[in-house]
């Protein structure tokens, strides 16, 4: 959690071949340079090892953020609109043709997602803004990764990480909503699944659900205690018990239920078959995690009121919402399903440790650990100290309260070209000036490790001069 989006890549395009401006002739050339920088950043990001991509995300963010003002200026001028205080006259030589990698479309296993050819400036705008939203979600993942690791964090560190991640997720939600407000995007037909209105709306709901769900993370001492308990270097258990302060359990439960509603909306909008199966499964697991967490907080609320039996019933309901079908006996998992759950948790721990695609279950396995820890502890106390009957959990789940919204998302304010920069575009470009086309070739490898190595002893950048083919390293 959040979803590990794959950033799309794009082809090289000379915008001045498609667009011309009588009032600001340098604008298409300057926009081409900014776009080429973005193209290079995306291709370099895709070739990096998974552990190195996190450090490269700010570079991608700066590249796409620098290109957006120029792109939106072209988009506004193409619709006979003003760019800030100025009137920009933009003519179309021929329809713009670009290629973007469709990373959210369903593809056969082992095959690269397609890179369809798109016609129109509005498709370029949709993919560029979507890329910015994906980058914010990935930056939120980088902040939350420390919470998933089995390391001890102070309250200040946990709060800082959650607050930064929340800010990124709300920004991603606002960008998706802004895309839906563009008439050319919301009315587009026959477009890749990535920029279809239903997909963009689902991604906005997922981002808001994630931002809502992590509200309780900074004030959830139970999840922190379970994480510290798994840390082998933690020796606090030798001299003190974990401190569990009282929480506003009922309020947290309603916040989690609001997150579940948003995830449910995304689940309904992501139709199977066209969208990547991992994203569809993630939306389903996100809803399960939110409802399971809500049931767990209602269990805590009941236990704090002295109703241990009802609390245990709520925990059983939480396991039902999380989809855990195995039974617990003396705090231990039983049966093949319990072994499968333990194996999945070990795999997830290794992904977190190695920096891979962790969190594909939307935090469901981590929440299951917290529920099982509380259930084992309370069941032991209920069996030895205060014996209370455990009622059935079905009526309790049916009586869940309504969700309560926590965030009031602000509309996205796209960056615009300042008046001074736009005024400089009035000067005609130098006839010998050429737009920066980027260092990355369109036919170059995009996969991790796909860069062609230089022949031994060759001067850097002259590999094409050696051998009969530029695709291999053999001299013969």
pLDDT at 447 over 70: no
Q: Higher-confidence residue: 110 or 410? A: 410
SS3 state of residue 118? strand
**What's the CA gap between 113 and 94, in Å, rounded?**
28
**What's the CA gap between 213 and 166, in Å, rounded?**
9
Residue 67: alpha-carbon gap to chain centroid? 21
**What's the CA gap between 437 and 182, in Å, rounded?**
29
Average pLDDT over residues 98-106: 90
Residue 342: alpha-carbon gap to chain centroid? 26
Give the residue among 347, 349, 350, 247 at the shortest CA–CA distance from 298. 247
**What's the CA gap between 84 and 78, in Å, rounded?**
14
Question: What per-residue confidence (pLDDT) applies to 369?
Answer: 85
SS3 state of residue 328? strand
Question: What per-residue confidence (pLDDT) applies to 421?
Answer: 86
pLDDT at 293 over 90: yes
**What's the CA gap between 219 and 279, in Å, rounded?**
28
According to DSSP, the residues that pair with 86 across neighbouring strands are 83
Q: Can you give the pTM of this predicted structure?
A: 0.84
SS3 state of residue 20? strand
Question: What per-residue confidence (pLDDT) applies to 239?
Answer: 34
**What's the CA gap between 366 and 288, in Å, rounded?**
12
Least confident of 210-219, 295-304, 356-365: 356-365
Give the residue among 230, 249, 219, 216 at the shortest CA–CA distance from 148. 230
pLDDT at 395 over 80: yes
Q: CB of 40 within 8 A of CB of 440?
A: yes
pLDDT at 469 over 80: no
Average pLDDT over residues 397-426: 90
**What's the CA gap between 169 and 173, in Å, rounded?**
6
pLDDT band for position 391 (50/70/90)? very high
**What's the CA gap between 282 and 354, in Å, rounded?**
21
Q: Per residue in 264-280, pLDDT tens? A: 999 999 977 789 899 99
Q: CB of 421 within 8 A of CB of 73?
A: no
pLDDT at 249 over 80: yes
**What's the CA gap between 35 and 58, in Å, rounded?**
16
Taken in order 258, 261, 263, 265, the sign of the CA dihedral is negative
Measured between alpha carbons, how far apart are the two ends of the chain, in Å? 49
What average pLDDT is seen over the chain? 81
pLDDT band for position 147 (50/70/90)? low
pLDDT band for position 234 (50/70/90)? very low
Question: What per-residue confidence (pLDDT) applies to 475?
Answer: 31
Least confident of 199-203, 346-350, 396-400, 464-468: 464-468
- Domains along the sequence of the chain with CATH: 94-398 (1.25.40.280), 448-476 (no CATH)
Kindly calculate the radius of gyration of the chain based on its CA atoms and give it in whole angstroms: 26
Q: Where are the beta strands (DSSP E) in 125-225?
A: none
Average pLDDT over residues 111-118: 84
SS3 state of residue 266? helix
> What secondary structure letter does DSSP report for 104?
T
Q: Per residue in 157-192, pLDDT tens? A: 878 888 899 999 999 999 999 999 988 888 777 889
Residue 394 CB neighbour total at 10 angstroms:
12
Question: What per-residue confidence (pLDDT) applies to 347?
Answer: 61
Q: Per residue in 7-33, pLDDT tens? A: 999 999 998 889 888 888 888 899 999
Question: What per-residue confidence (pLDDT) applies to 252?
Answer: 92
Q: Per residue in 27-64, pLDDT tens? A: 889 999 999 999 999 999 999 988 889 899 999 999 99
Average pLDDT over residues 228-241: 45
**What's the CA gap between 221 and 202, in Å, rounded?**
31
């Amino acid at each position: 959690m959040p979803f590990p989006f794959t950033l799309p890549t794009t082809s090289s395009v000379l915008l001045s071949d498609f667009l011309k401006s009588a009032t600001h002739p340098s604008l298409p050339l300057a926009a081409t340079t900014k776009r080429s920088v973005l193209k290079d950043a995306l291709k370099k990001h895709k070739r990096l090892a998974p552990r190195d991509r996190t450090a490269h995300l700010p570079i991608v963010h700066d590249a796409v953020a620098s290109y957006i003002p120029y792109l939106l200026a072209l988009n506004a001028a193409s619709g006979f609109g003003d760019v800030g205080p100025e009137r920009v006259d933009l003519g179309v030589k021929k329809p713009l043709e670009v290629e973007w990698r469709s990373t959210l479309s369903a593809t056969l296993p082992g095959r690269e997602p397609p890179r369809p050819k798109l016609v129109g400036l509005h498709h370029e705008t949709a993919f560029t803004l979507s890329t910015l939203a994906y980058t914010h979600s990935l930056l939120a993942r980088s902040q939350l990764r420390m919470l998933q690791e089995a390391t001890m964090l102070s309250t200040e560190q946990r709060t800082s990480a959650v607050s930064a991640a929340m800010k990124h997720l709300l920004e991603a939600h606002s960008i998706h909503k802004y895309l839906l407000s563009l008439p050319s995007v919301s009315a587009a037909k026959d477009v890749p699944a990535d920029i279809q209105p239903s997909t963009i709306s689902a991604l906005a709901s997922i981002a808001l659900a994630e931002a809502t769900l992590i509200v309780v993370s900074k004030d959830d001492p139970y999840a922190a205690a379970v994480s510290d308990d798994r840390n082998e270097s933690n020796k606090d258990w030798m001299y003190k018990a974990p401190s569990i302060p009282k929480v506003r359990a009922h309020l947290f439960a309603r916040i989690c239920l609001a997150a579940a509603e948003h995830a449910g909306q995304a689940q309904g909008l992501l139709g199977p078959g066209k969208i990547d199966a991992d994203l569809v499964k993630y939306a389903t697991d996100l809803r399960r995690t939110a409802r399971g967490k809500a049931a767990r907080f209602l269990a805590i609320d009941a236990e704090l009121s002295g109703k241990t039996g009802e609390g245990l019933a709520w925990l059983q309901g939480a396991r039902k919402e999380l989809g855990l079908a195995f039974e617990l006996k003396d705090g231990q998992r039983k049966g093949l399903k319990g072994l499968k759950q333990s194996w999945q948790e070990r795999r997830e721990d290794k992904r977190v440790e190695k920096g891979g695609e962790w969190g594909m279950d939307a935090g469901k396995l981590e929440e299951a650990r917290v529920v099982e820890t509380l259930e084992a502890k309370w069941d032991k106390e209920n069996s030895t100290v205060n014996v209370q009957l455990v009622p059935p959990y079905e009526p309790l789940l049916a009586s869940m309260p309504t969700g309560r919204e926590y965030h009031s998302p602000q509309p996205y304010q796209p960056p615009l070209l300042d008046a001074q920069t736009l005024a400089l575009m009035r000067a005609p470009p130098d006839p010998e000036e050429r737009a920066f086309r980027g260092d990355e070739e369109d036919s170059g490898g995009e996969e991790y490790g796909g860069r062609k190595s230089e022949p031994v002893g060759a001067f850097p950048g002259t590999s094409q001069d050696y051998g009969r083919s530029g695709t291999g390293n053999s001299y013969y």
